[in-house]
A = this chain, B = another copy of it.
Amino acid sequence: MTARKYSRQRELIKEFLMTRKDHPTADVIYQNVRNENPNISLGTVYRNLTLLSEDGEINRLNVGDGTDHFDADTSPHYHFVCTECGSVIDLEMDSIESITSTAAANFDGRIEGHMTYFYGTCQHCTRFHEHS
């Protein structure tokens, strides 16, 4: 709807996000992009993350920790959240798309999709416990 104009700041944000596999928050993105552009404002980071999400160039993730995370990998995949350290990790797993039809079976409305994340203890935190 709204014509998009080039912005170096948006480009920097996208570029940074593409280098990361750990799904950083807006503030982490802000802190890092400041290395390239010390004058960028946090509001600009938030606005561009929203624009990039709207354009389908990145995904906004909600993993239940109260702050949004962002992912430049827009291919369908799922995430694991460590309840110990909070890290968000990509999962390689078979499709579970069938759960949408399972849910739709007895529902009088239109189900368009689902939001799923898994939680538990990551490998690193599991090891940490064994050694202490």
Contacts and interface: CB of A to CB of B under 8 A. Distances in A.
A119 B115 contact: yes
Copies in the complex: 2
Chain A facing B: main interface SS = mixed
A105 interface: yes
A80 B99 contact: no
A113 B103 CA distance: 18
Chain A interface bracket (under 10, 10 to 19, 20 to 34, 35 or more): 35 or more
Contacts of A99: 96, 99, 116
A102 B94 CA distance: 7
A113 B80 CA distance: 10
A13 to B, nearest CB: 22
A109 B83 contact: no
A32 B42 CA distance: 37
Given A62-B62, A64-B62, A99-B96, A114 B105 contact: no
